[in-house]
């Protein structure tokens, strides 16, 4: 099973600051990584797919990058509504399966 490790666990920021979230895979997953945002009591929301493609209606301040085993989600200037938990997810390997990272919480 491919394990995804996210760091840091918690990121304390102020609005307007830059956020850099890391996701490391235990083996290469090519670019099959997605990023999700989750707010309390709500379902996850897709932000990025295939490592660097923004999903529909996602603001340009969200950027994904990386390939192989190291991936990054960057929020160029954190807005108040961005305080949430962020998960990376991979789809790779055989038999086909998906796994999620443990999450990074962005807090004020």
Partner 1 sequence: QVQLQESGPRLVKPSGTLSLTCVVSGDSITTINWWTWVRQSPGKGLEWIGEIYHSGSPNYNPSLKSRVTISVDTSKNQFSMKLTSVTAADTAVYYCARDSRAGMDHWGQGILVTVSS
Footprint on this chain of partner 1 (rule: CB under 8 A): 1, 34, 36, 38, 42-46, 48-50, 53, 55-56, 87, 89, 95-103
Cα–Cα dist 21/76, whole Å: 11
Quote the tokens at residue 40.
């309390």
Whether cis (ω within 30° of 0) applies to the bond prior to 51 is no
Q: How many CB atoms lie within 10 A of CB 29?
A: 24
Nearer to partner 1, 44 or 68 (CB): 44
């Amino acid at each position: 099973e491919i394990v995804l490790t996210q760091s840091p666990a918690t990121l304390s920021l102020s609005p307007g600051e830059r956020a850099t979230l890391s996701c490391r895979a235990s083996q290469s997953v090519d670019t099959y990584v997605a990023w999700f945002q989750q707010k309390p009591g709500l379902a996850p929301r897709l932000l990025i797919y295939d490592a660097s493609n923004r999903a529909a209606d996602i603001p340009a301040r969200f950027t994904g990058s990386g390939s192989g085993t190291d991936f990054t989600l960057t929020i160029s200037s954190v807005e108040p509504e961005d305080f949430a938990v962020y998960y990376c997810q991979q789809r790779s390997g055989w038999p086909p399966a998906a796994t999620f990272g443990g999450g990074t919480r962005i807090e004020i």
